[in-house]
Every structure is written in structure tokens, then in C-alpha cells.
Structure 1
């Protein structure tokens, strides 16, 4: 049976961030993920995890200037020193919280940029990140993101991401496969899972096209969860969706899985 991680950046937003851990645990989740923890002390987040018996499944490296529209710096030439510091900052939080998967955001393609130069920068930075994280048993992840939600993002397709992983050549670099993004860009989800799952380190879900609960929209997730089980995936599935209303009220889809989350 699939194990789910509540995404605390999108779910439970009716609560203050640090109170979302308790809310997720009360609803039966045993793992959480979120975008960025850096506004809060790592020790306080670790305390909330311990207090509520939660596993930290995933979070992202610092993304650059998010308010200015930046979505990562890993593929941006000239930002290598900033990227190296972001790895260290994320590592401090990962060690404090016991997190073993960190998402490395590539960034948007600036107007007129040389994509080949960006690719070289991306590969070099990912090698650096993987080397820094490996002694701690931490896996770096890269995620193809759809061009509707994040126009201009450097990485958009599953095959593209797996080719980058192969070029980097690090055993602790894998792909974060968000089935919401994949459905929008490519579709054919089961075939892509069958083709790529051995190189996938984390899955995420949301209803398509509106990014609400996974029991809405065009993807039959109930069926797909059974297929994912049959393929042998034993990691967490991140629930990176925006609830239509109060988070707990929309968890009918989660009920069949609630008692098998440990």
C-alpha cells in the first residue's frame, strides 16, 4: 500500500506553518514534506517532527530570490558560490530533521541564455551537491516541472531529467517524478513509470488540471496507486496539492490508506 507525505506548504494552510505538523499527524499522515523550512529554526522543526511521530520525507534547497520570481539557481552560470552555500544550508536542516531527500531546483532560463552553458553548470552543480550529501546518506533529486505552472523552468520532461542524472553519474542523484507535472507535459503515466521508476527517488501527486485533491480531475489515481505498488515502489508519495477547502474535509481519498502509513 502506498505511503503518503502531506505537503505542508500547500496543505493545512488554515493553520500556521508550525501547527501543520500536528494537523497532519491527527489526520493519519506519518510523513510530511514542504518547499522551504528556512524561515524557522531547524531545531524547532525537528521538535515538531519528534512530538508528532512524523518522518521528514523531502524539502527543497533554497531557491534564490523567490519573491523576484527565481525558482532555483543550480543551472544558472555565475551563481555557483551561492549554490554551494545553499547546499550547506539545506544540509544543516536535513541533518537536524533526519531528512534523506533534498530537491535541487534548476531555475528559470533567462532571456537570451545559452542553454548549453546552463546544462554544463547544472551538471557541475549537481555533482557538487551529490558529493556533499553522499557522506550523510542523503539523495539529491531533480524534478521536471510543467511550463504552465512555472514558465521558463529549465527542466520539463522525464527523459530529459534522467539524461541529466546519467551525465552527472552520482548514485545519490535521482528524479523526483511529480505525476501532476508529468500528466500536463507528457501523459502516458503508467508507461513512463514503468520506463523510469528505477531512477525515481520520490513521487508526488495532485489532481489534474486544477492541482486539487487526487480524487478530482482526469487522472485515476486509485488505479495508478495499485500499479505503483505492483512496480515495487516503496518510497513516499508527496501530496503536493491545493485543497479545494479545509484540508481535513478533503481527505476522503486518503481513507483507504490511512491505517497503513507506518
Structure 2
């Protein structure tokens, strides 16, 4: 299932998550004495491990040694709290990945949704809430940016008061999200400047931006103050971040850490390995610089 379909279904509350893993059975995760180093705060995106229930995913991340899950909606907040897991990026307020803030006709629904979700996120003690530009659909980049500013200004004061950061994700429009407007770091940065709020940031997806523009490390070092969150995946294919793909994630993690970043880096790859749990552990340890 494509990400846009998964997240839309999550927002509608209609996704059925099959229980495929029994955590009472033995696992093949490393029984290592090495704890994670703490330089990078690790997370994993919920949708990429949707073969697990949310409870099973909580148990898995605890077993690997970190304590955060990305792209969690409010209905699952109580489960995360039960297991001591943090929602590093909250979702659920969107209409869809293609219907976003760049189109004025979406604003009434989005303003209502985000106003409610800002409270839900803040009341739960979380910080980040994802948003999307939406597709161009004939709207110019310039007009889309202006429209985003008009809409987001209607909720940003509330986000500031409640301590919630609205984060717009950058996507590639070449492969995964054709026609998506926020498909470059430069466009997103201009939006940040236009809004002028520390409670609006960009979710810098390394996979997507490698496809669109490359120059990952230099972009992070130069513009990190606009980036509030990071996602990973292997290029090409959006699979494991090992040596089968073109990005060298240890160097990217070192660049992120050198900026003083204290937020989360979430794994968002779709594992090809039969042992998907082991693939997640390996990715986390690769990024644990």
C-alpha cells in the first residue's frame, strides 16, 4: 500500500492492522550489550511497519533500544503511553497528501482539523504535527506559497500558544508524489521565511530530497534551522539504508548532529528483508553515530 493511501486511511481511522507477529515467540534481534549512543534520537514511521499492530511496534522499538514512533494519530496515543513510547511526529489532521494548504478551498476543513489536533497533540504532551502542501493542480508555486501562508497563519498562533510545531513534509514529485508542490527545500524555506514562526518547520525527508536535488549534507548544514525533523530511506527504491543504495547515512547523521539538532530522525524505509524487525535494528544502529 502506498504511503498516501496508508496515511489517508489512518486519518480516516479505517486502517485495519493485521497481527502477523507473536512477541511471545523468540526474536532474532541482537542480544547486544551495546546500548544506543544517544547522539541521535531514533524513531520509526508507523506506516512502514504496518504488518505489526501498534502494540507490537511499541514492543519492537523498546527491544531495539529506542522509544519513539512517527506518524501516530491521536487514537493510538494511549497505547504509546502504556509502553512509554513517544509520538515523535503526530498525524491525523490532514485531508490527504494531495489536498493541502496550497489550495484555498481546503482551508476551512484544514483550519478546523488542525485547530483540534493542536490541542490533542499538546494535551498528550507531544510536540510535532505533520502537514502537507498538497498537489499543484494548476496552481503556480508562487500562488501556492501565498495560499499556504494565508491558511497556516490561521492556526500558527494557536500552535505557538500550545507549544506545537507544525511541520510540512518535503516530497519528491519525480517518482512517488507527482505534482506535489513542496518538492524542493528552497520552496519550503521561502514558506518558513514568509510565516516567520519558530512553530513552523520543514520535515526534511532525505530520501525525497536526494531524488529531487541531492546535495544532502550541504543543504542540512546550510539550512538546518528551517528543518525540524528528518526521515530516512534508501535511494533508489525506498528500501533498506544499507550499502545497496547510494546514500551514506552515517555521514548524514554526523552532519545532522553537528548542527546541534536534538529532535528525532525517523526510519521510513520499506524493508525488503524477510526479517523486517532485524532490518529496522540494523538501520537504527547504522545511524547511531
Under a length normalisation based on structure 2, what TM-score does the superposition of the two structures give?
A: 0.78
Q: Is the 8 A contact 2:48 2:270 kept in 1?
A: yes
Question: Which stretch of the first structure deviates more once superposed, 179-188 or 219-228?
Answer: 219-228
What is the TM-score with the length of structure 1 in the denominator?
Answer: 0.86
Note the 1:1-262 alignment, pairs <5 A.
1-11=39-49, 13-34=50-71, 37=73, 41=75, 45-64=76-95, 66=96, 70-110=97-137, 112-147=138-173, 148-215=175-242, 216-245=244-273, 246-250=275-279, 251-255=281-285
1:243–1:132: structure 2 CA closer, same or farther, 3 Å change rule? same
| Rounded Cα–Cα distance in structure 1 between residues aligned with 2:237 and 2:156 | 34
**How many aligned positions are there?**
247
Larger deviation: 135-144 or 92-101?
92-101
Q: 1:201 to 1:16 in 2, by over 3 A?
A: same
Contact 2:171 2:208 in 1 (8 A): yes
SS at structure 1 position matched to 2:105? coil
For residues 270 and 186 of structure 2, the distance between their equivalents in structure 1, rounded to whole angstroms, comes to: 27
Give CA deviations for 1:70-127 in whole Å, capped at 9, x if unaligned.
Answer: 53421112222111111023224313432201111111122x3355443222111122
Q: Secondary structure at the match of 1:140?
A: strand
Residue 201 of structure 2 aligns to a residue whose secondary structure is strand
Distance, in Å, in 1 between the alignment partners of 2:262 and 2:249 is: 16
Query: Which one has more relative contact order, counting CA pairs under 8 Å at least 6 apart?
Result: 1
In 1: Cα distance, 2:111 partner to 2:215 partner? 36
Distance 1:253-1:15 versus aligned 2 partners, 3 A rule? closer
CA displacement at 1:243 relative to structure 2: 1.4
How well do the aligned residues superpose, as a CA RMSD in angstroms?
2.1
Q: CA deviation at 1:255?
A: 3.2
Residues 207 and 235, structure 2, Cα contact 8 Å, conserved in 1: yes
Listed as ranges, the gaps of 5+ residues in structure 2 are 1-38
CA contact (8 A) 2:232 2:268 kept: yes
* Inter-partner Cα distance in structure 1 for 2:150 and 2:235: 34
Assess if the C-alpha contact under 8 Å between 1:46 and 1:96 holds in 2. no
Q: Quick one: structure 1 residues 92 and 22, their matched pair in 2 at CA, closer, same or farther if it must change by over 3 Å?
A: farther
